[in-house]
Amino acid sequence: MSDVLTQIEGRVARIRLNRPKALNALTTPMCEAMLDALDTWRTDPAIEVILLDHAEGRGFCAGGDIRMLAESGAGDGAEARRFFHTEYRLNHRLFTYAKPTVAFMDGITMGGGVGLACPCDHRVATENTKFAMPETGIGLFPDVGGGWYLSRLPGRIGQYLALTGHRLDGAECVALGLATHYLPSGALDDAKARIGADPGTLAATLDALAVAPPEARILADRAAIDRLFASDVLEEIYAALEADGGEWALKQLSTLKTKSPQTMKVSLRLLHEGAMMATFEDEMRQEYAVGAHVVQRHDFLEGVRAVIVDRDNAPRWDPATPEGVSPHVIDQIFAPLPAAEEWTPG
């Protein structure tokens, strides 16, 4: 059975992720299959709507094939770059797609799953949604457009999510605009059937089946997030959290101390520059260059060892503190690639 199922049901084309044992984590062939399908359907007048979901299991998509990326990064990095290049083309294709797209974020939607869902016109969250960009915990950064999406969230919530990897539920996704609709998971089959029967009523169908989400808990912390994560300098965020000294602030500080100082600094710069990017294509080009550099650095290989391979959850970051990460190192990571190696939308 294929890891990606593509099918046409009337005037609706469906992409279903089908790698449940890996929580539908993306591989290069999966991204290639989705790109091929989207390119075929783009010019097919019989197809009116593109629907993305997962076939089974508890995750829409948990991210990318991290173990492969680390194995490649420990060598010449070529396979990792090929994955990023293909995945980012898929993200960009969805972002610029001319036909209406809808993603059902039922279950785990993290990393690469965010990159699939966020470009879609309609994004459906449920009571099962667990949305996060947890990359700093393995020495990566919120890519697949994270620099674009997170930098456009209210206040400093994007910076908070990028640094801490905090998980949002479905209600919080709706409150922040990351999801457009909140449906009970039990209503999804009905929604998909109605869309299939009459694609022209896509938005109206989702509006009709949507229910009021529960309270968005993150909004209660909004003032603290905006105040304590106000700086784009990691050392200043640490200082603000320490100076506050409250239970919530110290909990965030404790969380940050488990993350890679290097890629937390990368994330802050990525969001600062992402907010000013003129186009999503520009963002993808930047993220590809950053990813190509980061995937071969110590912190990513060490993060994967600690979290995925040995599972001791005790990564030894190098440098171990924010102060140890020099501006020069961050400049090296953000250096543009040679023209022949740059990412292109295809």
In the set 64, 115, 158, 274, the catalytic residue is: 64
Q: What single letter denotes the amino acid at residue 129?
A: T
**Pairing between strand 122-125 and 101-105?**
parallel
Structure tokens of 39?
């390119």
Measure the CA–CA gap between 345 and 336, rounded to whole angstroms: 16
- Catalytically annotated residue among 59, 63, 112, 137: 112
3, 48, 143, 287: which one is catalytic?
143
**Whether 143 is catalytic:** yes
Q: 223 exposed, middle or buried (CB, 10 Å; 0-12, 13-18, 19+)?
A: exposed
Beta strands of the chain (E only): which ranges?
A: 4-9, 12-17, 49-54, 59-61, 101-105, 108-110, 122-125, 130-132, 168-169, 181-182
In whole angstroms, what is the distance from residue 243 CA to residue 253 CA? 11
Structure tokens given for 230: 């106000």
**Residue 147: active-site member:** no
* Catalytic residue (one of 3, 65, 106, 135): 135
| Closest by Cα among 50, 51, 1, 36 to 21 | 1
Rounded to whole angstroms, what are the CA distances from 144 to 37, 84, 200, 223?
19, 9, 29, 28
Q: How far is it, in rounded angstroms, from Cα 286 to Cα 143?
A: 10
Return d(Cα 240, Cα 31) in angstroms, integer.
41
Full DSSP string of 285-325: HHHHHHHHHHTTSHHHHHHHIIIIIS-------SS-SGGGS
319 preceded by cis ω (within 30°)?
yes
Is 273 one of the annotated active-site residues of the chain?
Answer: no
Q: Is 281 one of the annotated active-site residues of the chain?
A: no
Helix (H/G/I), strand (E/B), else coil: 52: strand
Where is 209: in which H helix or E strand? helix 202-209
Asked if 150 contacts 274 with a C-beta cutoff of 8 angstroms, the reply is yes
Catalytic residues: 64, 112, 135, 143
